[in-house]
Structures are given as structure tokens and as C-alpha cells.
Amino acid sequence: MDIFEQDLNRRQLLQAGVGAALAAYGLSACGGSDSGGEAQFVKPEIDGDLLIFNWAEYMDPALKKSFSEKYGVEVNEVNFDNLEGMLIKMRQGGGPYDLIFPSGEYVDRLKREGLLATFDRDSIPNSKGVNPYYDSPWYDEDSNHSMPYTYYTTGICWRNDVVTDMTGSWNDLTNPDGEGRMFILDDFQEAIGEANLLNGFELNTEEPDEIEQSKETLLEQKEFARGFSTNTIQNLASGSAVIQQAWNGDVVNTRNQVDNPEDFSYETCKEGVPVGSDTMAIPNNARAPGTALLFINWILQPDNAAQNVAWHGYPQPVEGGEEEFAKLVKEEPSIDVSLDQLEDKSLEFRFETPEGRQLWAETFTEVKAS
């Protein structure tokens, strides 16, 4: 019997918050160790409890519980607010976490810094159902550092029972109906990116004059905003936000949690739509990398992928996930995104130079501090 059929049932999943999850592993919320060096090679096996580092509300909790029950391990999760913060944690030793969810660009960065473990894709049986687009993505050409999780667009989500006159433009972030109840994503790429598109610039421009103009655009938007946040579902469901820069699945996830789901809408913007992929990867210093690899296979299992998509609202490029997302799109065409859109590299975040990244990061820091 291979490891994917074993049923160890050692104990049930423990529900824990961030502090408790870290404490269970004998870790603190900061601190760390050098996690670079030669990449460890991972094989699927139960080698410890699992600690996940992910966006909030980005995975059906029932899937963590069912994995826990099947394999007899604890599955705990800690959340990050943005990818840059996640990268900093990885450089500091990363928790250490066993499974992380970086975008394609961040896989490339983590891999170059020696912060990711490697594995044989053939050791993940359910990888056979992954869409061929991800056979050798630009950020992981050997497909031995990551597996795809979701792909997405960035647009605007709003309360249609409160906000009127939405125009399908990034200018809707300054719709007067949302003044004081609008959030911009707390992500320097997404925030500056939409301002670049609104100004007619290339998404990834590194021209100082253009970035300065986009900074002024962001400052104008900030006057209407309540703040910067990636807690999109919580903001919308609680009523803190009536307009929120958001990712396409967020409207589905929000509707799943409110009494009046018909009050929430999503739009992509005519000036341009950022697209991207999120992945599953194993840090090089993971304490239970074998368990993490088993969990990746679990998430790619067709019935689990379908269940996950129905819960979080994003397309997963694997059998089961693709079919479930097609059902969602029939109900809400605005959330649709195709892998063909990812072929347009001009709408996927990536920097040509380190100086460009530094300019964007410093600009966003200035906007938030002003």
C-alpha cells in the first residue's frame, strides 16, 4: 500500500489561531534561521505535523480537517498579509513553515535565493490532472519547486445595494458612494499597478516619471479610502468596505459568507486587468516536507479541487477544479479568467531590474506614510 492510500488516524485536527499554531511547533512569531543553501529533495511521506503559511480564507477548512483525519497529523495555518511580507519571513527562516503559497514571480525569487525545496513532480500522482499550461511555467521551468494552486484577475468588488454608477474603470475606486468605505489592496504591486493602468502606462513600468504620476493617482485615491488591506472578504462581509480592490474569487467567497449574496458584484477594469498564478511550494527548511508534498497531492485530487473552488471562488487548473469554476462562471461571468490571458506577459507582475522593484516599494511606502 503506498503512502497515498495509508490511513494512520493518529489524531484530529486542532483548531488554533496564529499564536497557538506557532506555539505548537515551538516557534515564535518572528525570529528564524538561515534557510538558504543546497535545496533538499522531498519525497511524499508522513514526517510530521503540517504548518501552512497562506493568504487568509484561501482554502476550505474542511480539506485541512479531512487530510488530518486521513493521515493522522495536525494541520495548522498561519496567514500573511502580502507576498513581500511572506518573502521577508522566508529570508528570516520562515517559521519554519512546511507549505507556502507564493505567486509565480515569488517562486522565481525564492528559488533563486535557494529558499525552496525540490521534488519529483511524478511523485505527486494528481499532478497528472494539472493543465499542461503549467508543465514548465516561466518561473519554474523544471516544475520541481512548485505546483499550481489558482490563477486570478484583479479588479473591484462592491456592494451594489449601496454603490451606484460603477463604470468598469479603475476610477471607480473614487466613486463618491464609497468614500471612507473603500480599501486598496495592501500590496505594492497591485496598488501601483492599477494606477499605472489607469494612467495609460505599462503595468510594469519602471520609468521614474510615470511612477511619480501613479503615486499622485494613488494619493488621490487614498483620500477616498478607509485604508489599505488584503482582508477583502472580511472587509466586504462585515460592511467595513462597500468598494474594495479585490481578486476575482473574493466575490464568490464573500457571497458564501453573507445573508444577501446578490448585493455583491465584481468588475474587471477597461484600462487593463492584472493576471497571475498562485502556487504551492515547500520551503527549504520545512520541518515536515514529506507531509507537505502529500498535502499538495491532496489539494490536487479532483473532488477536493472542486470542493475548494466552490468555497474560495478561484479557478484551480486541475481536473475537478476547472469544471467547478466553469459552473461558477455561468452564474457570475465577471469572475472569468482563462489561461490564455496569462499568455500576455505584460499583464503579469514582474520586474526587469532590482532598481525598478525598489522604486515601486519605496513609492508605496511613501503613499502609505503620507
Are the beta carbons of 77 and 14 closer than 8 angstroms? no
Is pTM, for the whole model, over 0.85?
yes
**Whats the size of the chain, residue-wise?**
370
Nearest-angstrom CA–CA distance, 307 and 299:
10
Please report the domains of the chain, with CATH numbers, ordered by start residue.
3-151+277-328 (3.40.190.10), 152-275+340-369 (3.40.190.10)
Are the beta carbons of 254 and 264 closer than 8 angstroms? yes
Q: Is the pLDDT of residue 25 over 70?
A: no
At residue 282, what is the residue type?
A: I
- The 10s digit of each residue's pLDDT in 287-336 is 999 999 999 999 999 999 999 999 999 999 999 999 999 999 999 999 99
Are the beta carbons of 257 and 237 closer than 8 angstroms? yes
- The 10s digit of each residue's pLDDT in 192-227 is 999 999 999 999 999 999 999 999 999 999 999 999
Are the beta carbons of 4 and 64 closer than 8 angstroms? no
